[in-house]
Chains A and B, each alone.
Chain A
Amino acid sequence: MDKYTQLVSRGLGKDIAKKLGLPQPVVLRRHEPGQPLVQGPVLIQGSTAGADELASTLLAWNLDIRRHAVPKEKLGAIILVLDELAHPDDLEKPVLAAAASLRDLAPNARVITVSRTAASASTPEIAAARQGVDGLLRSLAKELRAGATGNGILLADGADTTSPSTLGALRFFLSGRSAYVDGQLLAVTSGAGQLPDDPEKPLAGKVAVVTGAARGIGAAIARTLYRDGAALVLVDVPAAGDHLAAVANEVRGTALQLDISRADAGQRIIDHAVERHGRLDLVIHNAGITRDKLLANMDAGRWNSVTAVNIAAQLRINEVLLASEHFRSAPRIVSVASTSGIAGNRGQTNYAASKGGVMGMVRATAPLIGAHGGSINAVAPGFIETEMTARMPFVTREAARRLNSLQQGGQPEDVAEAIAFLASDAAGGISGEVLRVCGQQLVGA
């Protein structure tokens, strides 16, 4: 938590910020083992068969489910099921019904829409209605306050309101794991996937490789995957070996000092995982570098090193992974992209090109890994509080920090939570997608 957020979270600072109309970020609810999924009752709006099925499924999770709002009752979440929209006119009734409860949302509450992907619509009316949910959800998310977030689940053909990954995504969005995910629509692309036996240990029995694990977001990914039950192989360049060893000893993993841009990196990762841990299930491509420079001043060294590490290495490693018989049991890859690759960022043409490349790669690799029953996705972080962003100039940093719906930077753990979700079997029906972890960044995309 940054100092400003601390200052305006309570007491005099809170009053002054309110009177002056200053941003009022709140301390976000983040997941801790054993904590309840949602804080308060969950209102399910929508009258379709899908809504009914979802409601009865969620009852089995021991949630406090409401099908109708109870006046003055503080809600933990509103789930707006819109899975049978035939015309934009169909939006009004369920949406306004939900609107009546918005003032009753508790701090850090959740609003989640469940609708269908517009791309699979058979008529212009259906497509218009479905695409309308996009604009609705993104605008609503910007209206929510006090740490509450709004996110949407998009059902592709083959997925419905109770498919494993619909429920997996719902659980993720409801929980504190999605604290810094806001204003996002995540597609469930198939009925594949499997919910975990133990929701606290969704990665039990899995062997995961995390690249760039020595510090920052990579170290947070390692800790989160370990908490979720995975055995870990942690990779970083030999020069970062001391930090890597410290993280490995913390999460009881093995440290592999390896430059991922080496030609044999993929094979060495597989060999290490199989020889030392008996298998390989998950690969998290987190390693990345920045060599910022305005394009007019760019040189080949800066351009090439960023390309080599951020995208070329991932492509080469994935090729080896996909050809390996050791990467066949529900294999999952999650890559770290960046909002720079979506919205662009001044001084980061090389970095944004590489991160845009990651998203293109993920989309095109999805059918290839799908052939082995696996999935591949990307997470695109926005402003995350790391050693790297701590070195930004003060004004630039403050602007980047506040210009999002949650009015604060995200934590490395927030990125790690999204990755852990996408690496789990509960997300097996989600592939080729990019999930932003940016607190709904206001500038750009």
Chain B
Amino acid sequence: MSIQGQSAPGPKESSPSPSAGQNAAGQNAAGQNAAGQAAAAFPQLRKAVVVGGNRIPFARTGGAYTKSSNQDMLTAALDGLIARFGLQDERIGEVAAGAVLKHSRDFNLTREAVLGSALSAETPAYDLQQACATGLETVLGLANKIRLGQIDSAIAGGVDSASDAPIAVSEGLREVLLDLNRAKTLPQRLQALSRLRPKDLAPDAPNTGEPRTGLSMGEHQALTTAQWKITREAQDELACNSHRNLAAAYDAGFFDDLLTPYRGLRKDANLRPDTSLEKLATLKPVFGKNLGSEATMTAGNSTPLTDGASTVLLASEEWADAHDLPKLATVVDGEAAAVDFVHGKDGLLMAPAFAVPRLLARNGLTLEDIDFFEIHEAFAGTVLSTLAAWEDEEFGRTRLGLDGAFGIIDRSKLNVNGSSLAAGHPFAATGGRIVATLAKMLHARGQVDGRPARGLISICAAGGQGVVAILEAH
């Protein structure tokens, strides 16, 4: 009643609401006042820092982790993190993680993983799910709790197994089984069973199709890739760079303190250090074959289904200091966006194209103020479509409400240690992989032009969503 009463006047007012105005202009009052100084919009908040991370190598579906459950993998990633930072029997403020493909038995997945780990059993935990943005959203949510002073330490994470995916029974069988359970007499039971048809026995396997369009994520991206006229060559080049960068990072020992082997796997199984543009060019297109235009998306420039888990240790500065732990980077700010892909207004994976301009504006920053771009490579076409949108005058004017194009990024700052095309993409685990990787890179870079090195994370997600974030070197 009271809620209705309060909200009723809103829509009647002719002037746009303040929040709508912020979004349209990409600015708010606090952001303008604090121009050039990230995160100063809320000066009373304390800092949330990234201490470090741990993940298990990502496996291709049907590979090394075929027999591993989400809980197994998340527990392994947690235990590696605990060992790296000496957190045995520690009561962490809160642990949040999630999985996109989840069994019903995984209802309390994160808490169960905590109970199976070396952490104190008195560590609370909750599950979160925002499709592929799950991992990054756990980082942002927990960092906010730390900044507010609600907790001093946290572990964010995510896990997914496409190998050990839940398989549901058909709707027909499910209804019969539920009726059977409710039946009290033999005739009632027989009547329930009599409704069973052979087709009801076929299992209902999960797929990556969008419920509202029936199109797979790849087919959706193929539409966007074609819309932005992204070439096959550009996509293959991005994929090739991802593999080369990731391989070089492994060779340099970059992952020695970010990764713990699991089930015999020591590196991401999807990594092809010796891939080349020539090899990628030989692959046949798999998505967008019925669009009329040339199909450009192959298994080489699209991420395969992957199994894996990642974790990130977050803390207040005081907690990190008291535990003699490093402070790699500060979680500055984050932003979520969603697009209306159902009616074709925007591509399914284009939400970050809107989230990033809003986030940077709120923090008084432009693309030129960013030293590392971590743009999740769901498909090479996703990254390139996003960049194309930002470079497009009309998109900038009509969709972002800017004077012109949003801007061009320096490609030498993009995914410098590889990204999902090479590493793979166990949906909910990607955010944690990127946050820990970026935090380490920022810490190593330190200062740039007298200010802390700055990194931008952009992750697209199913349902037309996107979550983006800014991290700064501590």
Could you list which residues of chain A lie within 8 angstroms of chain B, going by C-beta atoms?
Answer: 238-242, 244-246, 248-249, 252-259, 262, 275-278
Q: How many inter-chain contacts with C-beta < 8 Å in the A-B complex? A: 62
- Offer 16 A-B interface pairs, CB within 8 angstroms, sorted by A: A238-B253, A238-B259, A238-B261, A242-B260, A242-B262, A245-B79, A245-B80, A245-B83, A248-B83, A249-B83, A252-B88, A252-B89, A253-B86, A256-B257, A262-B253, A276-B325
Interface string of B356-390 (1 = CB under 8 A from A): 00000000000000000000000000000000000
Instruction: Give Cα A254–Cα B324 distance, bound, in whole angstroms.
Output: 12
B76 interface residue, CB < 8 Å from A? yes
Interface string of B230-259 (1 = CB under 8 A from A): 000000000000000000000001011101
- Assuming A245-B80, A249-B83, A277-B324, what are 15 further A-B pairs, CB within 8 angstroms? A238-B253, A238-B261, A238-B266, A240-B261, A242-B262, A246-B79, A246-B83, A248-B86, A252-B89, A255-B83, A255-B260, A256-B257, A257-B256, A257-B257, A275-B326
Instruction: Give Cα A244–Cα B118 distance, bound, in whole angstroms.
Output: 14
Instruction: Give Cα A252–Cα B89 distance, bound, in whole angstroms.
Output: 8
* Residues of chain A within 8 A of B86, CB atoms compared: 248, 252-254, 276
Shortest Cβ gap from B119 to chain A (Å): 10
Kindly identify, within residues 78 to 96 of chain B, every residue whose CB is under 8 Å from any CB belonging to chain A: 79-80, 82-86, 88-89
* Residues of chain A within 8 A of B89, CB atoms compared: 252
Shortest Cβ gap from A245 to chain B (Å): 4
* Residues of chain A within 8 A of B253, CB atoms compared: 238, 259, 262
Instruction: Give Cα A278–Cα B260 distance, bound, in whole angstroms.
Output: 25
Interface string of B86-121 (1 = CB under 8 A from A): 101100000000000000000000000000001000
Kindly identify, within residues 47 to 105 of chain B, every residue whose CB is under 8 Å from any CB belonging to chain A: 76, 79-80, 82-86, 88-89
* Residues of chain B within 8 A of A254, CB atoms compared: 83-86
* Residues of chain B within 8 A of A239, CB atoms compared: 261, 266
Shortest Cβ gap from A223 to chain B (Å): 14
* Residues of chain B within 8 A of A248, CB atoms compared: 83, 86, 88
Residue on B nearest A253 in the bound complex, by CB: B86
- Do the beta carbons of B80 and A242 come within 8 Å of each other? yes
Instruction: Give Cα A255–Cα B80 distance, bound, in whole angstroms.
Output: 8
Instruction: Give Cα A277–Cα B85 distance, bound, in whole angstroms.
Output: 11
Shortest Cβ gap from B355 to chain A (Å): 35
* Residues of chain B within 8 A of A244, CB atoms compared: 83
Instruction: Give Cα A248–Cα B76 distance, bound, in whole angstroms.
Output: 13
- Do the beta carbons of A245 and B260 come within 8 Å of each other? yes
Query: How many interface residues does chain B have, given as a range?
Result: 20 to 34
- Do the beta carbons of A278 and B257 come within 8 Å of each other? no
Instruction: Give Cα A132–Cα B41 distance, bound, in whole angstroms.
Output: 84
Instruction: Give Cα A246–Cα B116 distance, bound, in whole angstroms.
Output: 13
Instruction: Say what secondary structure dominates the interface of chain A.
Output: helix
Instruction: Known A248-B83, A249-B82, A254-B86; judge A275-B118 contact (CB<8 A).
Output: no
Shortest Cβ gap from A338 to chain B (Å): 27
Shortest Cβ gap from A392 to chain B (Å): 23
Instruction: Give Cα A252–Cα B87 distance, bound, in whole angstroms.
Output: 8
- Do the beta carbons of B261 and A258 come within 8 Å of each other? no
* Residues of chain A within 8 A of B259, CB atoms compared: 238, 241
Residue on A nearest B76 in the bound complex, by CB: A242
* Residues of chain B within 8 A of A275, CB atoms compared: 324, 326
Residue on B nearest A242 in the bound complex, by CB: B261
Give the 4 A-B CB pairs with smallest separation, nearest first.
Answer: A245-B83, A248-B83, A249-B118, A255-B83
Instruction: Give Cα A275–Cα B85 distance, bound, in whole angstroms.
Output: 11
Contact of B80 among A241, A253, A258 (CB under 8 A): A241
* Residues of chain A within 8 A of B260, CB atoms compared: 241-242, 245, 255, 257
Contact of A249 among B88, B261, B266, B326 (CB under 8 A): B88
Shortest Cβ gap from B78 to chain A (Å): 10
- Do the beta carbons of A241 and B88 come within 8 Å of each other? no
Instruction: Give Cα A259–Cα B253 distance, bound, in whole angstroms.
Output: 9
Interface string of B246-288 (1 = CB under 8 A from A): 0000000101110111100010000000000000000000000
Instruction: Give Cα A257–Cα B254 distance, bound, in whole angstroms.
Output: 11
Shortest Cβ gap from A435 to chain B (Å): 31
* Residues of chain A within 8 A of B82, CB atoms compared: 245, 249
Residue on B nearest A255 in the bound complex, by CB: B83
* Residues of chain B within 8 A of A256, CB atoms compared: 257
In this complex, the member of A242, A254, A262, A276 whose beta carbon has the largest number of chain B beta carbons within 10 angstroms is: A242
Kindly identify, within residues 443 to 472 of chain B, every residue whose CB is under 8 Å from any CB belonging to chain A: none
- Do the beta carbons of B256 and A255 come within 8 Å of each other? no
* Residues of chain B within 8 A of A246, CB atoms compared: 79, 83
* Residues of chain A within 8 A of B255, CB atoms compared: 238
Instruction: Give Cα A253–Cα B87 distance, bound, in whole angstroms.
Output: 9
Shortest Cβ gap from B45 to chain A (Å): 27
Instruction: Give Cα A249–Cα B81 distance, bound, in whole angstroms.
Output: 10
Instruction: Give Cα A257–Cα B260 distance, bound, in whole angstroms.
Output: 9
* Residues of chain A within 8 A of B266, CB atoms compared: 238-239
Instruction: Give Cα A277–Cα B259 distance, bound, in whole angstroms.
Output: 22
Contact of B261 among A241, A259, A277, A278 (CB under 8 A): A241
Residue on A nearest B119 in the bound complex, by CB: A249
Shortest Cβ gap from A432 to chain B (Å): 34
* Residues of chain B within 8 A of A259, CB atoms compared: 253
Instruction: Give Cα A277–Cα B325 distance, bound, in whole angstroms.
Output: 10
Instruction: Give Cα A382–Cα B313 distance, bound, in whole angstroms.
Output: 43
